[in-house]
């Protein structure tokens, strides 16, 4: 997520100045809530804050109370708006009819292991797990770093998996790739742009991309892991064909191809590939059916489809969905909560 990078950036400047901060984490929800467990906010002594633990309705109260609440150590604070009059009497204005449990804890320079771990996950692209103790009260906020330190016992835990940022590989550096890369970077994704034409693959054309490379056919394939997705949009049949041959057998959860179905079927035929036997999950034509017209709308449709696919969703309207609207449902009766959090 973009906010994770912002939190790490703010913490870098705060810790460099030798100052403390308060890290607030959603660790448990019941009923409806705006954010899932794992959402974070970092608050400085001077009132700077980044991240979000609600739609904006809890932040004011957290800013007012977080520092004195954490004077004696970590604390779990419960916000409840399930009662009929809770919205008007609590002052929070949640309007969600849910309960949110927040872990508030001080982080100090040299003593911010959870933030160090998140930074490490982002740098190495190796996921990590950590269990936050919710109960008993005298252990609230303690952390067990899995797998070596894991002994649940009678504790109530929030277990989160810290995962790397989504990495988007864009094969094609045409003008229509610009809004796609910009949208991906806005979400906090890593973006790598490839094209065999040097006058297309120019750094100044994609200033926000992490890497822009002139890549010829047969060059080593880009690094791929479970958080890597790719799109083919070079408008060059030969380039798309070579890229498809390289990517088809990689474990990509999303491989999108721009253009009509007929073109993709021809690409598959010329590449000697069968959809059913591909390792990569093919989406062609790529993008959700929103009636997109023009590069910006196509970028919206593609980014939305990638997000839906990574969360195991079809991308349909929430108004027709039964049950929880969030990406991952949490069983309130479980001994511990689990969440996947993008670092």
pLDDT tens-digit map of 93-112: 455 667 899 999 999 999 99
Q: Rounded to an integer, what distance in angstroms lies between the CA atom of residue 297 and that of residue 289?
A: 11
Structure tokens at 249: 């057998």
CATH of residue 183: 3.40.50.720
Does any domain span residue 269? yes
Q: Is residue 75 part of a domain?
A: yes
The answer on 127 and 176 residing in a single domain is no
Residue-level pLDDT at 333:
35
- Phi first, then psi, for residue 31 (nearest 5°) are 75, -150
pTM given for the model = 0.88
**Per-position b or e across 63-99, b if 16+ CB within 10 A of its CB:** eeebbebbeeebbbbebbbeeeebbeeeebbbebebb
Rounded to whole angstroms, the Cα distance separating 146 from 152 reads: 11
DSSP string computed for 126-161: --EEEEEEEESGGGTT-EEETTTT---TT-EEEEEE
Per-residue pLDDT tens for 158-210? 999 999 999 999 999 999 999 999 999 999 999 999 999 999 999 999 999 99
pLDDT in tens, 258-304: 999 999 999 999 999 999 999 999 999 999 999 999 999 999 999 99
Sign of the C-alpha dihedral computed for residues 224, 240, 303 and 324 taken in this order: negative
Residues 116, 131, single domain; the answer is yes
* Chain centroid, CA 337 distance in Å: 18
For 321, phi then psi, to 5°, come to: -85, 135
Angle made by CA atoms 185, 188, 192, in degrees to the nearest 5: 50
Whether residue 154 is found in the same domain as residue 215: no
Domain that includes residue 104, residue range: 2-164
Q: Examine residue 186 and state whether it is found in any structural domain, yes or no.
A: yes
> 14 and 71: one domain?
yes
Clarify whether residues 223 and 201 are in a common domain.
Answer: yes
Q: How far apart are CA 312 and CA 327, in angstroms?
A: 8
Same-domain check for residues 181 and 272: yes
Which pair of tokens denotes residue 141? 């906020």
pLDDT tens profile 210-258: 999 999 877 887 789 999 999 999 999 999 999 999 999 999 999 999 9
What is the predicted pLDDT for the residue at 96? 60
Q: Is residue 318 in some structural domain?
A: no
Summary mean pLDDT of the chain: 88
Identify whether residues 102 and 172 lie together within a single domain: no
Residue 327 lies in a domain: no
């Amino acid at each position: 997520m973009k906010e994770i990078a912002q939190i790490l950036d703010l913490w870098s400047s705060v810790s460099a100045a030798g100052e403390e901060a308060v890290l607030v984490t959603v660790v448990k929800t019941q009923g409806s809530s705006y954010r899932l467990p794992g959402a974070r906010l970092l608050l400085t002594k001077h009132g700077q804050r980044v991240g979000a633990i609600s739609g904006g309705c809890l932040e004011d109260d957290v800013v007012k109370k977080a520092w004195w609440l954490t004077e004696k150590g970590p604390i779990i604070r419960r916000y409840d708006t399930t009662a009929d009059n809770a919205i008007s009497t609590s002052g929070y204005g949640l309007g969600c009819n849910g309960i949110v449990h927040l872990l508030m804890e001080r982080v100090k320079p040299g003593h911010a292991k959870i933030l160090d771990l998140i930074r490490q996950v982002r740098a190495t692209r190796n996921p990590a797990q950590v269990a936050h103790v919710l109960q008993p009260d005298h252990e609230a906020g303690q952390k067990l770093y899995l797998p070596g330190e894991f002994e649940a016992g009678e504790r109530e835990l929030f277990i989160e998996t810290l995962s790397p940022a989504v990495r988007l590989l864009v094969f094609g550096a045409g003008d229509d790739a610009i809004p796609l890369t910009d949208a991906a970077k806005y979400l906090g994704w890593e973006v790598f742009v490839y094209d065999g034409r040097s006058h297309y693959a120019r750094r100044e054309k994609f200033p926000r991309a992490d890497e822009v490379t002139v890549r010829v056919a047969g060059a080593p394939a880009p690094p791929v892991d479970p958080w890597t997705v790719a799109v083919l949009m070079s408008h060059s049949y030969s380039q798309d064909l070579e890229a498809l041959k390289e990517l088809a057998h990689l474990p990509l959860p999303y491989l999108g191809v721009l253009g009509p179905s007929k073109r993709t079927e021809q690409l598959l035929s010329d590449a000697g590939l069968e959809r059913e036997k591909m390792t990569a999950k093919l989406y062609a034509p790529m993008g959700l059916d929103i009636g997109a017209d023009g590069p910006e709308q196509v970028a919206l449709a593609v980014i939305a489809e990638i997000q839906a696919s990574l969360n195991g969703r079809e991308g349909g309207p929430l108004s027709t969905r039964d049950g929880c609207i969030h990406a991952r449902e949490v069983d309130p009766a479980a001994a511990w909560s689990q969440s996947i959090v993008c670092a």
